[in-house]
């Protein structure tokens, strides 16, 4: 252990012990400056930087060929040097206004002492130290704030007994004492009076900060390397935003100087002074609430110092915390149900650009030479050769032969991607760990990434133009880690609810439902079907001419698999039980409750019994079986799917007529004032609630009628019953009645005064005047019904568009707050500093990803032990 | 507002879990069990309405028995702080 530290110390050249932040004094600013800036001009007639201008070559070089006058080095060697300007009048620094305000408020205006009696100062220090011991720096800051706010009301200096005036901040930078403006000069003289000892209470360190330095008398000019100008194609020069701003400052400063020297009237000087204050303020921060932002001639706001550092596009989050990666690729995604779940289809063009580094050994030398012979333009070839000393050589027609000659063990060949290579696949926003999984590469024709539709769920991807990213890990460690920890099968069980995040979707569910609901196939058809799915062992098929769907499905299941569950739909005998005995589906149908993602325990049980690798293979086969069967069987949703027989239509009409009558009845009772009012509600609210309830009930009744009378064998019904898409509600909306359109839980009441549309009478509360759509989509909507549908449609569209960024930001805050919480070995959940957050994770200590839907099934464990 | 004795005894409210003051021995055992000091414990203010009648001082540890959705009954500990 001791040795380890020693070896480390060899490499530690210099060590940062602590960092002190202070405020630059005028002397320091002058000392670190290598030029005094006096003129706003940038270049002379020849285009050469003016001496004493903002582009002075003593401030660094940004043009090739020139040498820095300060350090003598060329472009890119010289890091730039600061300059300064002498301000004609002092100016408040915008960043420090709040500190200045609290300093002014809590010190005496006459003697400059802090407004705390001598005997209490010691106690003050003790309080602050204690706060720091408890809550670290944040605690100290809070305590300082506390003390300062207490001093606001002191109106008599405990030392010189001088009366104190109320000081206010007139935003952004003006201080007002008793309705009288204080000039920065006055403020500065006040601040000068404050002693070094008193400063400490405010959290300022004597020797590093003096309060008066917060009022600027000289301004530091940043080096030109920090604000390089761009030469356009036309030869014109375009200056950086900061240079523009500094030009304004220098110009106004010069004018102020001239006016003062010429003895100009006070008003003119005041105006210029304010203007200088404005320019310097916006130089530091162009987003001050009370100031109009300084703009380009084109009208777009200047990007000054604060904007460079702050927020998402600023230096910290964009340039320092934001990383960019090589060996990655991005393109549109499209589905391919025939590739495996843990595969990703990569276009050939991508496979020929991205590479895999393969170390040359004695044994693979000849094999890799073949790749090199094919070069970079023939698949599968090689793009680069890396020498043992780390030099990278590109494979081109010229270099190819020499490089093939050169390769020897120890070299690294960067060959094209091939089937079976490991890649990380990711879709933003990466909200959970399943948003980035590792897949095996499958090189395919075309220009899109292909993924199995079953893994859309964890990525939350669809194919309406979504793009995804692909990364190729380059080191052995990274590849292994991706393979062992991140492959799709390792992510099968969600850590959120302990069920499979990947399951059958859409057609795969419909197909398996139809197959297991009582399909019968000829033996050759069955074998063909299974073959297509990838089953090669047909010994489980019973030896008879006609084979039913359940027997085909059973071929995929392991022989020793036992399962009991429930399905959402009923089988031909009317039961919803699913029984699998010794790998045979004896009873029940397969639908969303057993095959779908995040529901049902069939997939979870397979995973538990046979492990992730087998589980994903079985799932892949089930998925393909459904799709292939459906494709062979044919599947369509037709307009006639929602046809209802005449008696059913009459029934629905009766239900809706009755509902309408009932509503009118209620309205009459309400108008007579005889309505029975709910406690805590007004009469109007009660009426609305009653009407809503009534209409909803009648819509549901129509739904029941529809469910009873629709043909069970149409595509639409199959989708609804199997749960692959749509539900009974959608069927009812098509066949019978769309129902009440609601906005914010109420019937539609917007529009004109007292009515929704001019088509209705004022005060009409009847069902159809307030957004009840009694027709079905197939039968067709009346114009006003269509309009009500459009209202709610637009409303929900707006709602989602507004909600998405809000919830994204909420998530970001939550993730940042919880990112380093961790379950320790003693089962407590602790934060980074070891503070306990929970004594047991989730209070029950259950690892959800090892549970079934958050529950540990003790009954099964017991029965397994038996 | 004049001092008025509230009839509501917060401790007895159905939504307030049971708060129990740990003895010095129990407290030390807890600290030893989790290898912690008072700093690492979640905090509770001394004047928290739920523990006013327990006669606590700074540095005491309160055991809270809560009903939990996931685990039935759960023990939770908080260290008493002033203000």
Q: Which alpha helices (DSSP H) does A312-429 contain, by range?
A: 348-351, 365-374, 400-406
Q: Is residue B55 part of a domain?
A: yes
Sequence-ordered strand ranges (E) for A758-831 = 772-773, 822-823, 829-830
Residues of B contacting chain A (CB within 8 angstroms): 33-36, 39-42, 68, 70-71, 74-77
Residue A134 banded pLDDT, cuts 50, 70, 90: confident
Q: Give B-chain residues touching A845 at CB under 8 angstroms.
A: 71
CA distance A837 to chain B (A): 7
pLDDT at A2: 47
Q: In the predicted model, is pLDDT for residue B9 greater than 80? A: no
Q: Are residues A552 and A622 in the same domain?
A: yes
Q: Is residue A320 part of a domain?
A: no
Q: Is residue B67 part of a domain?
A: yes
Reference A184, options A91, A257, A109, A270; nearest CA is A91
Q: Does A830 touch chain B (CB under 8 A)?
A: yes
CA distance A686 to chain B (A): 31
pLDDT at A480: 96
Q: Is residue B64 part of a domain?
A: yes
Domain assignment of residue B25, given as a range: 15-81
Residue A363 banded pLDDT, cuts 50, 70, 90: very high
In chain A, pLDDT over 90 holds for what percent of residues? 33
Q: Do A834 and B74 touch (CB under 8 A)?
A: no
Q: Is residue A321 part of a domain?
A: no
pLDDT at A66: 75
User: B63 near B52, Cβ under 8 Å?
Assistant: no
Q: Are residues A540 and A579 in the same domain?
A: yes
Domain boundary among A633, A656, A680: A633
Q: Are residues A341 and A487 in the same domain?
A: yes
Q: Do A836 and B68 touch (CB under 8 A)?
A: no
- A57-71, A303-317, A555-569: range with lowest mean pLDDT: A57-71
Q: In the predicted model, is pLDDT for residue A1 greater than 50? A: no
Q: Give B-chain residues touching A831 at CB under 8 angstroms.
A: none
CA distance B69 to chain A (A): 9
CATH classification at residue B37: 3.90.940.20
Q: In the predicted model, is pLDDT for residue B6 greater than 80? A: no
Q: Do A844 and B42 touch (CB under 8 A)?
A: no
Cα–Cα distance, A287 to A310 (Å, whole number): 11
Q: Is residue B74 part of a domain?
A: yes
Domain assignment of residue A659, given as a range: 639-798
SS3 assignment, position A261: helix
Intra-chain end-to-end CA distance of chain B, in Å? 22
User: A40 near A251, Cβ under 8 Å?
Assistant: yes
CA distance B14 to chain A (A): 20
Answer yes or no: is the ipTM higher than 0.85. yes
Q: Is residue B42 part of a domain?
A: yes
Q: Is residue B56 part of a domain?
A: yes
What pairs with residue A219 in β-bridges?
A85
User: A257 near A278, Cβ under 8 Å?
Assistant: no
Angle between helices A683-709 and A646-672 (to 10 degrees): 170
Give whole-number Cα distances, A311 to A19, A812, A818, in Å.
24, 13, 20
pLDDT at B1: 47
Q: Is residue A241 part of a domain?
A: no
Cα–Cα distance, A492 to A341 (Å, whole number): 11
Q: Do A826 and B34 touch (CB under 8 A)?
A: yes
Closest-CA residue of A relative to B30 is A839
Please identify among residues 87-106 of chain A the ones whose CB lies closer than 8 Å to any CB of chain B.
none
pLDDT tens digits, A319-346: 888 888 999 999 999 999 999 999 999 9
Helix (H) or strand (E) holding A837: strand A836-838
Instruction: Considering only the beta carbons, identify the residue of B40, B70, B74 that sits closest to A836.
Output: B40
Q: Are residues A382 and A516 in the same domain?
A: no
Q: Is residue A19 part of a domain?
A: no
Q: Which residues contact A107 (CB under 8 A, 6 or more apart)?
A: A113, A114, A115, A190, A193, A194, A198
Please identify among residues 840-859 of chain A the ones whose CB lies closer than 8 Å to any CB of chain B.
840, 842-846, 854
CATH classification at residue A482: 2.40.40.20
Residue A445 banded pLDDT, cuts 50, 70, 90: very high
Give whole-number Cα distances, A612 to A342, A438, A604, A682, in Å.
12, 14, 10, 59
Q: Are residues A380 and A422 in the same domain?
A: yes
Size of chain A in residues? 866
- How high does pLDDT run on average in chain A? 88
Q: Is the full-model pTM beyond 0.90?
A: no
pLDDT at A9: 57
Domain count, chain A: 5
pLDDT tens digits, A215-224: 999 999 999 8
Cα–Cα distance, A293 to A295 (Å, whole number): 6
Reference A216, options A161, A173, A157, A167; nearest CA is A173
Query: Residue A549: left (phi > 0), alpha (psi -120 to 50), or beta?
Result: alpha
Cα–Cα distance, A135 to A129 (Å, whole number): 10
> What would the mean pLDDT of A282-309 be, rounded to a whole number?
86
Domain count, chain B: 1
User: A510 near A722, Cβ under 8 Å?
Assistant: yes
Torsion of CA A227, A233, A237, A239, to 10 degrees: -30
Return the higher-pLDDT residue of A866 and A772: A772
Q: Give B-chain residues touching A843 at CB under 8 angstroms.
A: 68, 70-71, 74
The answer to whether the peptide bond before residue A172 is cis (omega within 30 degrees of 0) is yes
Q: Are residues A605 and A643 in the same domain?
A: no
* Angle of CA points A53, A58, A59, to nearest 5°: 75
Q: Does A828 touch chain B (CB under 8 A)?
A: yes
Q: Is residue A197 part of a domain?
A: yes
Q: Are residues A114 and A171 in the same domain?
A: yes
Q: Are residues A604 and A512 in the same domain?
A: yes
Q: Are residues A648 and A516 in the same domain?
A: no
Q: Are residues A400 and A335 in the same domain?
A: yes
Give whole-number Cα distances, A460 to A436, A471, A799, in Å.
11, 19, 20
Q: In the predicted model, is pLDDT for residue A3 greater than 60? A: no
pLDDT at A6: 55
Q: Is residue A260 part of a domain?
A: no
Q: Is residue A456 part of a domain?
A: yes
Q: Are residues A646 and A783 in the same domain?
A: yes
pLDDT tens digits, A410-429: 999 999 999 999 999 999 88
Q: Which residues contact A33 (CB under 8 A, 6 or more apart)?
A: A81, A82, A83, A84, A220, A221
Cα–Cα distance, A101 to A111 (Å, whole number): 17
**Chain mean position to CA B24:** 14
Q: Is residue B7 part of a domain?
A: no
Return the higher-pLDDT residue of A150 and B32: B32
Q: Is residue B65 part of a domain?
A: yes
Residue A7 banded pLDDT, cuts 50, 70, 90: low
Return the higher-pLDDT residue of A160 and B65: B65
Give whole-number Cα distances, A863 to A442, A564, A603, A805, A858, in Å.
43, 13, 19, 49, 9
pLDDT tens digits, A504-528: 988 999 999 999 988 889 999 999 9
Return the higher-pLDDT residue of A76 and A729: A729
Cα–Cα distance, A139 to A789 (Å, whole number): 56
Domain boundary among A424, A457, A491: A491
Q: Is residue A666 part of a domain?
A: yes
> What would the mean pLDDT of A769-781 be, rounded to a whole number?
89
pLDDT at A398: 87
The encoded tokens of residue A321 equal: 């915390």
> What would the mean pLDDT of A68-93 be, rounded to a whole number?
86
CB atoms within 10 A of CB A805: 9
Q: Give A-chain residues touching B39 at CB under 8 angstroms.
A: 835
Cα–Cα distance, A587 to A573 (Å, whole number): 10
Domain boundary among A602, A633, A664: A633
Q: Are residues A391 and A450 in the same domain?
A: yes
Q: In the predicted model, is pLDDT for residue A750 greater than 90? A: no
pLDDT at A5: 53
Q: Give B-chain residues touching A837 at CB under 8 angstroms.
A: 42
Q: Does A825 touch chain B (CB under 8 A)?
A: no
């Amino acid at each position: 252990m001791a040795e380890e530290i020693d070896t480390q110390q060899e490499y530690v050249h210099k060590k940062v012990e602590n960092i002190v932040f202070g405020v630059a004094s005028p002397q320091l600013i002058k000392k670190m400056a290598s030029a005094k800036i006096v003129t706003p001009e940038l270049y002379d007639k020849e285009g050469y930087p003016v001496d004493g201008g903002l582009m002075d070559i003593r401030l660094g070089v940004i043009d090739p060929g020139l040498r820095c006058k300060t350090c003598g080095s060329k472009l890119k060697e010289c890091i730039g040097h600061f300059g300064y300007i002498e301000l004609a009048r002092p100016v408040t620094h915008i960043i420090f206004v709040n500190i200045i305000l609290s300093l002014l408020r809590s010190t005496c205006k006459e003697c400059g002492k802090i407004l705390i009696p001598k005997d209490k100062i010691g106690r003050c220090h003790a309080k602050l130290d204690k706060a720091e011991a408890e809550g670290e720096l944040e605690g100290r800051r809070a305590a300082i704030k506390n003390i300062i706010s207490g001093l606001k009301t002191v109106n008599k200096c405990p030392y010189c007994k001088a009366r104190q005036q109320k000081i206010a901040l007139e935003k952004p930078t003006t201080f007002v004492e008793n309705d009288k403006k204080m000039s920065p000069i006055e403020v500065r003289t006040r601040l000068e009076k404050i002693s070094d000892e008193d400063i400490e209470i405010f959290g300022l360190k004597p020797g590093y900060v003096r309060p008066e330095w917060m009022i600027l008398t000289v301004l530091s000019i940043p080096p030109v390397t920090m604000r390089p100008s761009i030469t356009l194609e036309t030869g014109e020069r375009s200056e950086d935003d900061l240079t523009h701003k500094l030009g304004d400052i220098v110009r106004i400063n010069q004018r102020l100087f001239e006016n003062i020297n010429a003895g100009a009237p006070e008003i003119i000087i005041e105006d210029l002074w304010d203007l200088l204050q404005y320019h310097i303020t916006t130089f530091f921060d162009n987003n001050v609430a009370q100031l109009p932002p300084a703009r380009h001639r084109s009208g777009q706001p200047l990007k000054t110092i604060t904007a460079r550092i702050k927020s998402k596009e600023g230096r910290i989050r964009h340039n320092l915390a934001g990383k960019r990666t090589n060996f990655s690729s991005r393109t549109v995604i499209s589905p391919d149900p025939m590739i495996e779940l843990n595969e990703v289809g990569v276009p050939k063009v991508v496979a020929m650009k991205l590479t895999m580094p393969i170390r040359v050994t004695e044994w693979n030398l000849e094999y890799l030479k073949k790749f090199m012979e094919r070069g970079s333009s023939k698949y599968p070839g090689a793009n680069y050769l890396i020498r043992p000393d780390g030099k990278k050589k590109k494979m081109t027609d010229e270099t190819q032969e020499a490089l093939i000659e050169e390769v020897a063990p120890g070299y690294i060949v960067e060959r094209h991607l091939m089937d079976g290579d490991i890649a990380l696949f990711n879709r933003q926003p990466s909200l959970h760990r399943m948003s980035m999984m590792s897949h095996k590469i499958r090189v395919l024709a075309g220009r899109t990434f292909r993924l199995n539709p079953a893994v859309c769920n964890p990525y939350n991807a669809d194919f309406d133009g979504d793009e995804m990213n692909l990364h190729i890990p380059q080191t052995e460690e990274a590849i292994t880690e991706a393979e062992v920890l991140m492959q799709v099968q390792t992510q099968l069980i969600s850590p959120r609810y302990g069920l499979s995040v990947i399951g059958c979707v859409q057609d795969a569910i419909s197909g398996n439902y139809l197959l297991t609901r009582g399909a019968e196939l000829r033996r050759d058809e069955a074998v063909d079907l299974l073959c297509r799915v990838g089953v090669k062992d047909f010994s489980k098929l019973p030896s008879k001419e006609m084979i039913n769907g359940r027997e085909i499905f059973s071929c995929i299941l392991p022989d020793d698999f036992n399962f009991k569950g429930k399905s959402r739909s009923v089988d031909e005998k009317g039961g919803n039980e699913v029984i699998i005995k010794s790998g045979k589906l004896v009873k029940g149908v397969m639908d969303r409750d057993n095959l779908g993602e995040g529901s049902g325990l069939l997939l979870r049980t397979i995973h538990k019994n046979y492990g992730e690798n087998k589980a994903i293979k079985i799932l892949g086969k089930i998925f393909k079986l459904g799709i292939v069967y459906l494709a062979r069987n044919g599947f369509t949703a037709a307009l006639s799917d929602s046809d209802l027989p005449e008696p059913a239509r009459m029934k629905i009409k009766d239900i809706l007529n009755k509902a309408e009558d009932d509503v009118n009845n209620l309205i009459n009772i309400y108008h007579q004032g005889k309505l029975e009012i709910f406690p805590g509600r007004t009469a109007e609210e009660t009426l609305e609630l009653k009407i809503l309830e009534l209409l909803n009930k009648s819509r549901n009744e129509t739904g029941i009628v529809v469910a009873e009378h629709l043909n069970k064998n149409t595509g639409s019904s199959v989708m609804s019953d199997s749960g692959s898409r749509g539900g009974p509600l959608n069927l009812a909306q098509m066949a019978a009645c769309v129902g009440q359109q609601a906005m914010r839980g109420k019937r539609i009441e917007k529009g004109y005064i007292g009515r929704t549309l001019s088509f209705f009478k004022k005060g009409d509360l009847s069902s159809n005047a307030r957004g009840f759509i009694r027709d079905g989509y197939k039968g067709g909507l009346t114009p006003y019904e269509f309009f009500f549908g459009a209202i709610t449609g637009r409303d929900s569209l707006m709602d989602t568009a507004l909600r998405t960024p809000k919830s994204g930001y909420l998530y970001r805050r939550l993730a940042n707050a919880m990112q380093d919480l961790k379950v320790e070995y003693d089962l407590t959940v602790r934060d980074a500093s070891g503070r306990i957050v929970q004594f047991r994770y989730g209070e029950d200590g259950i690892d959800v990803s090892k549970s079934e839907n958050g529950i540990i099934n003790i009954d099964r464990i017991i029965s397994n032990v038996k | 507002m004049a001092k008025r004795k509230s009839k509501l005894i917060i401790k007895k409210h159905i939504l307030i879990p049971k708060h129990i003051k740990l003895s010095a021995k129990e407290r030390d055992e807890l600290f030893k069990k989790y290898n912690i000091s008072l700093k690492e414990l979640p905090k509770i203010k001394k004047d928290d309405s739920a523990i006013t009648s327990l006669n606590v001082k700074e540095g005491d540890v309160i055991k809270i028995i809560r009903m939990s959705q996931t685990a039935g009954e759960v023990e939770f500990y908080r260290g008493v702080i002033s203000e």
